[in-house]
Structure 1
């Protein structure tokens, strides 16, 4: 996985590095003990409903000091179904979120093999976005569930983090306001892109929980076809999700499946 991730980093405009799981966050927001309690309860929820965590969390270089303890996980989702994989943010609901800093003048250096060798930048204060009422941090964690262990979902996960933390996208609020959110042509490779439907997790998927610092929803990003993208604009994102559920596809992403609409 490490080699594959580094291959991604050579073409993305932002970066990630693979490091050990962090155990604490900035004490300026909450005590280490409280932060760890939130982290542990979220971890237990994932392990009960999704699967076992790997040893390492994938850290985004441009989030160093901006998203302490946060990162991305790729994990077998055996609790959801045989052969499924979950790609998830982990830390959007941390007590120290929303972020109050941003890294500027971010630069990546690569070696002769095109692998990330060093990155640098400077932390600057950022106006802190307002959390949704009663929410833990940004109020959600984002997950893609797929039938393959692949690289492309990590591109989307990094897009999510950058959109929310750097650009205050308010993804959860948009999902709630519009009964789902569709996003078109997100780059997931050197020459690949996907359309996604982002919605709250529907049964039998885990919907989220109440953490010590507030409510955390699970948002699922599901790859949809061009036809489904257009159809959802005319008929509603919630209606498209119903059609996906009725077809048996549900919120599991399969880039090769047939469209559920004409």
Structure 2
């Protein structure tokens, strides 16, 4: 594991461990060739259109036994653009999703330096969320594309995974119904927060793929300014996305950029 990932793991509130993705899974992939076929197909798509995977996947402690084989990746998005980084869920479209279990009474302990040191909880059954018949799992993977290799995007990625898997947020349905979804003040650090616009990936980004188990959309979370957030509520998410594509960095996140409304 590289030092950057070690630093990330020491500060994020939910991440339990990092482990080689090729061998990581509580789900016995050797006993389910179809599950592996889906996993491999998704991997090939990412590596062709986004970039090569690192050796490590980031696992969320509160998803142990809930999201088998799933986790978060940080990869250089050189197929999208020079100097870009992609932060992505990987496994929302697994054949065993949506989840039918959840972790109850989850507790996390930290050491003297604030690093996660111990986890505990109990698996319990939960009602499985409904998804479209032609969708793979939840029907999407979530990405945030940034110009930096940092830890703040992973706070957002954890938020999105928790919202969907544990709280049945139905993010894809909301995006399709409202032509996008805006979320305000998502914590991305001890004293930091961002607003985001979540929308389907737009060209020239890769826009999705048909996996062996159904359709996979790519949803992109883009950091937006306070005035863009308010403007979208009055004028629509689709209109804000159009402005970002025309006047800004498109669906690439930069927390320091100027508003496209100025």
Q: TM-score range by the shorter chain?
A: over 0.9
What is the correspondence of 1:117-132 to structure 2 with a 5 Å cutoff? 117-132=117-132
Matched, 1:8 2:11: yes
- In the alignment, does 2:240 pair up with 1:240? yes
Corresponding residue for residue 171 of structure 2: 171
1:117-151 deviation digits (Å, cap 9, x = unpaired): 11111100010001123100000000000000000
Write the distance in 2 (CA, Å) between the matches of 1:208 and 1:128.
24
Is 2:92–2:137's contact at 8 Å kept on the other side of the alignment? yes
1:93 touches 1:136 (CA, 8 Å); kept in 2?
Answer: yes
Gapped runs of 5+ residues in structure 1?
none
Q: CA deviation at 1:236?
A: 0.6
TM-score relative to the length of structure 1: 0.95
Distance (whole Å) between structure 2 residues aligned to residue 168 and residue 88 of structure 1? 19
Which residue number corresponds to residue 215 of structure 1? 215
Q: Is the 8 A contact 2:42 2:211 kept in 1?
A: yes
CA deviations 1:154-199 (Å, max 9, x no partner) are 0000000000000000000000000000000000000000000000
Separation in 2, partners of 1:16, 1:234: 40
Q: C-alpha distance in 1, partners of 2:31/2:242?
A: 43
Kindly state the Cα deviation for residue 110 of structure 1 after the two structures are TM-superposed: 1.5
Show CA shifts across 1:23-67 (max 9, x none).
656469x95200000000000000000000000100000000000
Equivalent pair of 1:139/1:172 in contact (CA under 8 Å):
yes
Q: Report how far residue 111 of structure 1 moved.
A: 1.7
Q: CA deviation at 1:239?
A: 0.5
CA offsets 1:102-125 (integer angstroms, 9 cap, x no match):
001111122222211111111000
The offset of 1:17, in angstroms, is 1.6
Inter-partner Cα distance in structure 2 for 1:122 and 1:193: 30
RMSD (CA atoms): 1.6
Residue 59 (structure 1) aligned with residue 59 (structure 2): yes
The equivalent of 1:97 in structure 2 is 97
Q: Secondary structure at the match of 1:188?
A: strand
Structure 2 unmatched runs, 5+: none
Contact 1:25–1:96 (CA under 8 A) maintained in structure 2: no
Q: Secondary structure at the match of 1:108?
A: strand
More deviation, 131-140/75-84:
131-140
Shift, 1:204, TM fit: 0.4
SS in structure 2 opposite 1:99? coil
| CA distance in 2: counterparts of 1:248 and 1:228, whole angstroms | 12
- Which string of whole-angstrom CA distances, capped at 9 and with x for unpartnered residues, describes residues 3-34 of structure 1? 2222323xx3x333212214656469x95200
TM-score between both structures, scaled by the size of structure 2: 0.95
Number of the residue aligned with 1:137: 137
Q: Does 1:158 align with 2:158?
A: yes
What pairs up with 1:111-122 in 2 under 5 angstroms?
111-122=111-122
